[in-house]
A and B are shown apart, each in its own frame.
Chain A
């Protein structure tokens, strides 16, 4: 899912970077110093989750879990996932440097959208209903992420459109897997620690 350096056109890279900077700034505004430890530890959790390989068909995929990240982190998903992508690029060589902004946007924007669309459902009274909303969020986030990647590629040039389409269809099974995983994770968290979906809410109302 990572886009690499050199694939996108300059306007797409600059536009993506500006939007990502805006998202990160918004996310940081909702993170007072008190909340940095919880955001940092959750960011590390999602980093570790992205190294988990889950079998699917004859192969295996690594998790993205950005839907779940959005449900737990809200706007803070922008800085938290950016940090993860930065560390991956610098220390593992995944992704790229000039495309860091675009990659952050591709992963974090769907997380924030899922936060707004599905969080109320995840907070529903019954854990089973919450799990269904978790599945919707998990699957939707991957669909939106592949959509963002496809848009970034298509805006960069006609010739990428078939590749973008292929990326989308190749990710349909991954959407299903991430939906199941998110549902199970939400179900467990709702039973064990329902406060998880609100740990980053600033006391005083805003979430």
Chain B
């Protein structure tokens, strides 16, 4: 899936960012549940040293899994770009002990702490998610979700989306190239926005027509209304070890949060 953001990479080549060194053999269901457990525990912790530790665990997992650190951290930074202005505002909107004054606005210590807390939580959770789940093949994610009792129609919707994102992205690039060939250059004008609107409209029209052909092809092959989900997953000893390590990490975070060992 990652290819959609960075052109030049091969599409849907097995796992997202190429890291399978340690996690490759672990059951995808265990990885999904692990990511959820880690997220819930991290979000419920509020002490900064504990959250730094959680982020350290996530970074450690990234290194262990053999993910390309630069690219993964760059994606994480993109997310930070979205939230940075909310975090920057916090010290000025939370009342409390004044830390410094900027253009006549007082920044409070409490607000600063809250901004740091949110930043740490958001980064730790998203990094762990990318490492544990993002390294799976998207199709595997669908099958694992099905085995975790996610309703079949939703899983099929996910699988169709995964399959056609790539196709439609290629179509989008083709349409853009055609526009470029006709001298279209995006700028700040009504013409630009209208052209983008036509582009999106055209993509929707083509998508629907494509889906009609897909349904026709499926029916031709004996589609009866149910799609078999082929996945044979079974828990192994490796999954036991994974569960033990992740459970240990979660338990230690909870313990550190409730007692006051660190600091």
Contact = CB atoms under 8 A, between A and B. Distances in A.
B201 A185 contact: yes
21 contacts: A6-B122, A13-B43, A31-B153, A38-B208, A41-B168, A44-B165, A49-B203, A52-B199, A54-B186, A68-B204, A90-B134, A91-B1, A91-B130, A96-B126, A158-B93, A159-B114, A160-B86, A177-B193, A180-B190, A184-B198, A187-B197
7 nearest interchain CB pairs?
A40-B160, A184-B197, A6-B121, A185-B201, A188-B201, A4-B122, A44-B164
B5 A92 contact: yes
Interface stretch (A80-88, A113-121, A139-147): A80-88
B75 A163 contact: no
Interface string B19-46: 0000000000000000110011011100
Contacts of B161: 40, 43-44, 47, 80, 83-84, 87
A43 B157 contact: yes
Contact of A92 (B75, B186, B195): B75
A194 to B, nearest CB: 10
A50 to B, nearest CB: 10
Contacts of A163: 85-86, 89-90, 93
B78 interface: yes
Given A43-B157, A44-B165, A97-B35, A5 B211 contact: no
Interface in A62-96: 63, 65, 68, 72, 79-80, 82-84, 86-87, 89-96
Interface in B165-199: 165, 167-169, 172, 186-188, 190, 192-199
A132 to B, nearest CB: 13
A4 B78 contact: no
Nearest to B75: A93
A98 B201 contact: no
A172 B138 CA distance: 35
Contacts of B129: 89-90, 93, 96-97
B42 A45 contact: no
Given A6-B118, A41-B164, A44-B207, A28 B5 contact: no
A32 to B, nearest CB: 8
Contacts of A90: 129-130, 133-134, 141
Contacts of B195: 184
